[in-house]
A and B are shown apart, each in its own frame.
Chain A
């Protein structure tokens, strides 16, 4: 395999931009019409993800050591889209046809051989990871909605129950699909530690125009069955004994609620500072649960912060600014969860005061280990994620 040649050809093709993934998917669907049903109706975001993922793979093709965990995660993630081994050659065929089309005269037998070999490696790693995951977990869990509570105009708390228990760690995320919006997956964090009865609490904020979140907040009813993908992500999990500061924007409180349950069980004398942000006082949608934790956790201090409510008697302003006034935090591990803007703004403000990324925990949506970009289906941190 001539890697510089492979990369040069990818760069040449990538310069055609959005046409390339568009051509790839149309080719795939023409050659293998049954693959179409694995994708949502609108695929614009999908096409960008394919590009990113392919770019990643091509960039690391000579560094398999690094690429393998990424590919394994991709392979495991794709099980929830009902991807089977026979789909890999179909995708390979469409990929080669696409490269051939855009490279024109630049497509040679040698290049075709390089790409065939590279894709063979990639699909082998993904396939093996999917197969080995299949021995320990199902491709997805069916979860019945057992309670649906509309807590405010924009926030609903759903309780779902999986038929077989889903093993996860507090702070992880799971992809959720509703039959109301087939093939659209969005990540949410369970708001409780795993329970023997398989109940999982999900906090969903309605994102204006977001197809999945609006269905989950406004339309889903008790008795409906959601699909949950395998849990992912280790950025917000708690596996140390340090004191912690939690910065929760809106439904970004969900993973912290699960972590508080874990802390309540672990029996350490850990100090926990929880800053809960909302726009107005009406939007503290889980205040009762928070009071419950305050009663049972002696090391916990809670500060509610309203960003846009002149009548609020507690702290007002931007969450991170208030939290920094309560500092300094020289030793603590700082956890941040909320909308993408809230998370990036908060991390910038923390860094400015000397709290660097080494002890700031946030979800990395494009990292290798976390919620990786996907070749099919849909997911990760797009418009529907919490916040």
Chain B
């Protein structure tokens, strides 16, 4: 029995592809001058495919027999096995979904850990900035009080010294904080600029791979 690969069958008629049909299928030779495939390889593949299908059919038969045997056993023991359960659980699908869930959780956990590190760093930095500013302010206040006492002479007044001290403290504190804020805010602005340039880059790389 032979079967033409380009056999135009009548619609609605599906012939079962058996191992035997696969083995005996013949292909038309491609016209001279047109490219084709090695007929030996095709034949090898046909045999291989036929074997696979034959093996699958044998396995199917074995399983059907097993199912029949089990069904009969249950029937004999009074269990109703003929009603098909409403929904069959596909354990592979369950496991696949579980894996996807774990994967997603790993990403989320990573993002949270990153967020935690950033927050901890930011708090530490804020503490350091404040501590540093306070220290500088303390020093400046001491210095101002000292200078006032040195130049006050007879006109010394405790209230004036305290005022000098406080003024120097506030000036030094706000200066120190300002310097830090400026440094931070310009670093931040640079980051923003980088981000703003990103879409442009992406647009360009869409047409021109060289640009990067």
Interface residues of A (CB under 8 A from B): 22-23, 25-27, 29-31, 41-44, 97, 101, 109, 153-154, 206, 208-211, 214, 311
Contacts and interface: CB of A to CB of B under 8 A. Distances in A.
B126 A26 contact: no
A29 B100 CA distance: 12
Given A25-B101, A27-B89, A209-B119, A42 B109 contact: yes
A67 B22 CA distance: 66
Contacts of B89: 27, 30-31, 97, 101
Interface stretch (B43-51, B110-118, B163-171): B110-118
Contact of A30 (B79, B90, B115): B90
Nearest to A209: B116
Interface in B108-158: 108-109, 112-113, 115-116, 119-120, 122-123, 126, 134
B191 interface: no
A43 B123 contact: no
B105 interface: yes
Contacts of B115: 208-209, 214
A208 B116 contact: yes
Contacts of B95: 23, 26
Interface string B158-182: 0000000000000000000000000
B119 A42 contact: no
B198 interface: no
B203 to A, nearest CB: 30
Nearest to A44: B105
B98 A22 contact: yes
B94 interface: yes
A42 B98 contact: no
Contacts of B55: none
A109 B109 CA distance: 41
B104 interface: yes
B72 to A, nearest CB: 18
Contacts of B90: 30
A294 B155 CA distance: 43
A110 to B, nearest CB: 13
B124 to A, nearest CB: 11
17 contacts: A23-B94, A23-B95, A25-B98, A26-B94, A26-B98, A26-B101, A30-B93, A41-B104, A41-B105, A42-B104, A101-B91, A153-B126, A209-B112, A209-B113, A209-B115, A210-B112, A211-B112
